[in-house]
């Protein structure tokens, strides 16, 4: 099964992100937005993992989260992956991310035997994927206007092991296990 570790986003933050997505929809940019129920911060993508291996993953994740107490991050700033000629992915940035990066690094140490990440952690929340360069200049101006947006704070209280089921309509995520941080 295709799995990943993530932090879910509270409904009030999802609503603010949905408002941003609607602004882009009004302009008829060619963007496939992440559905509100699928908004999350990916900590580690593991890819295809067998049922037997899932149990090992659960034990290893549990051994990491037991050393972390609840912490706060800030959803702020707006940006994109790609370059000015080819914008690929729209994202919301994360501030106050030191503890989140520490958590990601510890998860990587325990789980890199499954899939090794090539890049340093760069926590973000993907809100959409740009499908074409339609209205590119105006898209860049719209992104620039949102560059310093502040969305709100999120308390990271738990992380989830999720299954990603790919369908023609887009991915469907199913929670496999929830790991609570120390209160």
pLDDT value, residue 23: 84
Considering 7, 24, 40, 104, which one is annotated as catalytic?
Answer: 40
> In the chain, how many domains are there?
1
Residue 119 annotated in active site: no
Residue 66, SS3 per DSSP? coil
The answer to whether residues 141 and 123 touch, using CB atoms and an 8 Å cutoff, is no
Positions of the chain with pLDDT lower than 50, given as ranges: none
Considering 124, 127, 128, 160, which one is annotated as catalytic?
Answer: 124
pLDDT value, residue 153: 97
pLDDT value, residue 132: 85
Q: Write the CB contacts of 134 (distance below 8 Å, at least 6 apart in sequence).
A: 28, 29, 30
- pTM here? 0.92
pLDDT value, residue 29: 86
pLDDT value, residue 25: 82
Q: Which residues constitute the domain of residue 113? A: 2-180
β-partners of residue 165 are 172
- Kindly report the CATH number assigned to the domain that includes residue 72: 3.90.1140.10
Alpha carbon separation from 147 to 9, 92, 142, 164 (Å, rounded): 20, 9, 9, 30
């Amino acid at each position: 099964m295709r799995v990943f570790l993530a932090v879910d986003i509270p409904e009030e933050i999802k609503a603010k992100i949905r408002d941003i997505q609607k602004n882009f929809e009004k302009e008829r940019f060619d963007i496939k937005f992440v559905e509100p129920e699928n908004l999350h911060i990916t900590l580690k993508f593991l890819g295809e993992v067998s049922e037997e291996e899932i149990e090992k993953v659960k034990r290893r994740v549990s051994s990491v989260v037991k050393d972390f107490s609840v912490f706060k991050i800030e959803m702020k700033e707006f940006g994109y992956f790609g370059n000015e000629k080819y914008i690929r992915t729209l994202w919301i940035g994360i501030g106050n991310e030191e503890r989140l990066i520490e958590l990601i690094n510890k998860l990587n140490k325990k789980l890199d035997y499954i899939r090794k990440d090539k890049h340093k952690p760069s926590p973000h929340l993907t809100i959409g994927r740009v499908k074409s360069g339609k209205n590119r200049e105006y898209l860049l101006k719209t992104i620039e206007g949102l560059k310093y947006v502040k969305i709100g704070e999120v308390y990271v209280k738990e992380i989830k092991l999720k299954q990603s089921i790919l369908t023609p309509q887009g991915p469907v995520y199913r929670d496999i296990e929830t790991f609570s941080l120390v209160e």
